[in-house]
Amino acid sequence: MTAPTTARGPAATPGGWLRRYRPVDDATVRLVCFPHAGGSASAYLRFAAALAPAGVEVLAVQYPGRQDRRGEPFLETVEELVEAVLPELRQWTHGPFALFGHSLGATLAFETARRLTAVGRPPAHLFLSGRRAPVVPRTDTAYLLDDRSLVERVTRLQGTDPALLQDEELLRMVLPAIRNDYAMAGAYRYRPGPPLTVPTTVLTGDADPNVTSDDAGRWAEVVGGTFTLRVLPGGHFFLNDHTAGISSLIEEELADAH
């Protein structure tokens, strides 16, 4: 893979959907990353830095209602969000690209892959992290919890800085996004269709309280391409402890993307 140089191409500007933290000119492949519930594009800063030297440019999706898009209204369903991000995403899919999503982001990446594949622009690879397969029955009602109980639930997942959750002012800023995204996850229903014939890697933590390895393995029922399940040490946010290893895995899987 090529080394990065000064970036050219369409800019990901504030207010848009994609953030280019480490632009790579003539990237061998671009990796579009969807954050977890309540998360923002900056969740992928470390992956952008780790993958850029290998010629992989990370494009991190910024959902409305957070960080520099804080003044914009939330979108309430997976379908609405996918429909909204596609026009800007299509500017970046003229060359090889892959999709990565963690937790709720995995659902969004999967549905985005389905939409792009349906119009003849499938990703070179799909990475799904920290999420049960959509065929696994689930009831997501965390968004109905009162504020204190919701904060306790988020704290147990260990994906948010505890100091942030103890700061009342910051908490008022982030809690609406968390509640909205949990409601989005709760409203999602998988619509059966042809298996997605895209090479797929599923990542899960061996101590994730939300996802068992069996639940993660059932993604194989909805994808028809090459399927790999990787179980790593850690809880729901295991990827925070394995940036280097996961980056190497991504680089390896995308080495032949063309």
pLDDT tens for 166-223 read 555 666 777 888 889 988 998 999 999 888 999 999 999 999 988 999 999 999 999 9
Residue 135's identity, in one-letter code, is V
Q: What is the pTM of this model?
A: 0.89
Give percent of the chain with pLDDT exceeding 70: 83
| Structure confidence by residue, pLDDT tens digits, 92-122 | 888 999 999 999 999 999 999 999 999 999 9
Pairing status of strand 126-129 against strand 97-102: parallel
Q: Per-residue confidence at 51, pLDDT binned at 50, 70, 90?
A: very high
Choose the catalytic residue: 102, 129, 236, 247: 236
**β strands within 49-133, DSSP E:** 56-61, 97-102, 126-129
Tell me if residue 103 is catalytic: yes
Q: List, in order, residues 6 or more apart from 38 with CB less than 8 Å away.
A: 154, 160, 174, 177, 178, 181, 182
Query: CB neighbours of 248 closer than 8 A, spacing ≥ 6?
Result: none
Per 3-state DSSP, what percentage of the chain is helix, strand, and coil (rounded to 5)?
45, 15, 45
Domains by residue range for the chain, with CATH: 18-253 (3.40.50.1820)
Q: Which amino acid is at 146?
A: D
Distance CA 65, CA 249 (A): 32
- Which one of the listed residues 40, 103, 129, 247 is annotated catalytic? 103
Q: Classify burial at 131, counting beta carbons within 10 Å of its beta carbon; exposed 0-12, middle 13-18, buried 19 or more.
A: buried
For the question of residue 236 being annotated catalytic, the response is yes
